[in-house]
């Protein structure tokens, strides 16, 4: 064990280390709060001046993270900055930046690479660098390792490189950062030891694996598992619908089996920062090895087709009423990617809105968690959330239930909507004006 290894482990275990969180979004912000709450000094680094300003003022920009928690963190030493030079102050730097897909559905590593390049000049001996962004196996070795060592530091001796994938589930009341086990892979054994010392203070259970590649693959397997099973149940939904069977009834019945079955429910498509994206990281990397991941790609095709399936159900319903989609007023209920959160990343609801608009429909939305349609990289709507009142519902030719927030008054919707296209199985009792999608 080098002097630097022993020194940083001691600092981490004694909570004298300064923790730097780079990227203060849905992953970085809860992690900051956790480290702050157990007595570490935490420095947040982000390129977004608006976010940094709000945090330093004790404000939150994520609905399920209350402002009083941010204010308390500020009072106990947390601060945020856009100045990457301050990375040199930190003993551990945890990178929590996006890894989206580009327009060719290939990994966009620009956020990871640009962030690493931004902190690179300020790295010093005795630091740990941990990447939490979901990515393809080999990213830590291929992209971070050479950059970290560019200035002459030796990983495993002077500086310590770790991959530990995030496992945040925004809005899930059953789990928090502390209670979700943390997978950790180090580039060397010394790196792993430092990574364990970094995370075991904040997380109840750490799960060491043999390498950064194994940790990267673990995260992909978790999310591909979900994507494939959701693809399966989405395909079965289409078959069941054609046969006049309610797929939600079938899944509920199958879920009573106490072994060998896990319930997955169909929907309007995949959303969020992981499930729609991560499978493509592996399919892209597998091509480098001459492999074609047919099973994974097939599930991706099924899931990507779901917004179009919902659109077709909408058009069928309008057609039965003697109406065309063109010129019809359509209200989309729920535009966050899942229930009870304000997270819009990769939301299939937004794709449904775009499909409706492309066919000439006049689209609006209602979402109690998203009062104003946010600025997004690829989607642009100048809309505010519609109030769900009896009179307002009656103004629309159809409503599409895309995200089943608990705050919706489903009885009011059923009473006053002319046509309901239900993609979430909220309405189990058959009715003439309700179409399952």
> How many Cα atoms are found within 13 Å in the side-chain-facing hemisphere of 255?
11
Contact yes or no for 96/133 (Cβ under 8 A): yes
- CA dihedral (136, 141, 142, 143) in degrees, to 10, reads 90
* Of 168, 65, 171, 64, the residue nearest 404 (C-alpha): 171
How far is residue 279's CA from residue 266's CA, in Å, rounded to a whole number?
18
Q: For residue 143, what is the DSSP state?
A: I
Q: Cβ distance 131 to 162 under 8 Å? A: yes
Q: Is 191 one of the catalytic residues?
A: no
d(CA 317, CA 325) in angstroms, rounded, equals 10
- Here the tokens at position 103 are 């327009």
Among 90, 96, 191, 274, the one annotated catalytic: 274
Taking each helix axis as running N to C, give the angle between helix 294-304 and helix 212-242, from 0 to 180 degrees, rounded to the nearest 10.
50
**What is d(CA 139, CA 141) in angstroms, rounded to the nearest whole number?**
5
Rounded to whole angstroms, how far apart are CA atoms 390 and 413?
8
| H-type alpha helices, 243-293 | 247-254, 278-288
Query: Tokens 């970094």 map to which residue?
Result: 198
**DSSP summary character for residue 232:** H
Residue 205: closest CA among 186, 178, 187, 230: 178
Here the tokens at position 206 are 């750490």
Distance, C-alpha 278 to centroid of its chain: 10
Active site residues: 274
């Amino acid at each position: 064990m080098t002097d630097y290894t022993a020194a940083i482990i001691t600092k981490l275990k004694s909570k004298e280390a300064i923790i730097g969180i780079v990227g203060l979004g849905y992953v970085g912000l809860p992690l900051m709060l956790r480290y702050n709450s157990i007595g570490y000094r935490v420095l947040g680094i982000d390129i977004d001046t608006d976010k940094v300003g709000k945090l330093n003022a004790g404000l939150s920009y994520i609905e399920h993270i209350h402002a009083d928690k941010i204010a308390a963190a500020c009072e106990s030493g947390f601060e945020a900055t856009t100045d990457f030079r301050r990375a040199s102050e930190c003993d551990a730097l945890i990178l929590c930046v996006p890894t989206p897909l580009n327009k060719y559905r290939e990994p966009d590593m620009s956020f990871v690479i640009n962030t690493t390049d931004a902190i690179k000049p300020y790295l010093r001996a005795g630091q740990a660098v941990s990447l939490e962004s979901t990515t393809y196996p080999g990213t830590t070795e291929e992209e971070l390792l050479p950059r970290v060592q560019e200035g002459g530091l030796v990983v495993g001796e002077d500086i310590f490189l770790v991959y530990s994938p995030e496992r945040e589930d925004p809005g899930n009341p059953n789990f928090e950062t502390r209670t979700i086990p943390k997978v950790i892979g180090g580039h060397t054994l010394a790196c792993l030891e430092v990574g364990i010392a970094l995370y075991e203070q904040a997380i109840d259970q750490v799960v060491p694996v043999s390498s950064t590649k194994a940790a990267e693959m673990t995260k992909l397997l978790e999310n591909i598992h979900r994507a494939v099973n959701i693809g399966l149940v989405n395909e079965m939904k289409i078959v069941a619908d054609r046969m006049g069977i309610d797929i939600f009834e079938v899944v509920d019945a199958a879920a009573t089996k106490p072994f060998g079955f896990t319930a997955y429910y169909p929907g309007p498509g995949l959303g969020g920062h992981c499930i729609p994206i991560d499978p493509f990281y592996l399919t892209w990397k597998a091509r480098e090895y001459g492999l074609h991941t047919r099973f994974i790609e097939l599930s991706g095709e099924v899931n990507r087709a779901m917004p179009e399936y919902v659109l077709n159900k909408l058009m069928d319903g309008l057609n039965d009423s003697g109406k065309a989609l063109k010129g019809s007023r359509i209200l989309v209920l729920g535009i966050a990617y899942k229930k009870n959160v304000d997270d819009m990343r990769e939301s299939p609801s937004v794709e449904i809105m775009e499909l409706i608009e492309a066919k000439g429909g006049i689209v609006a939305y209602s979402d109690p968690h998203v009062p104003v349609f946010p600025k997004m990289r690829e989607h642009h709507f100048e809309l505010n959330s519609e109030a769900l009142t009896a009179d307002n519902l009656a103004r629309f030719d159809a409503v599409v239930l895309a995200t089943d927030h608990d705050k919706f008054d489903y009885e009011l919707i059923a009473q006053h909507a002319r046509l309901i296209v239900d993609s979430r199985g909220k309405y189990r009792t058959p009715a003439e004006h309700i179409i399952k999608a």
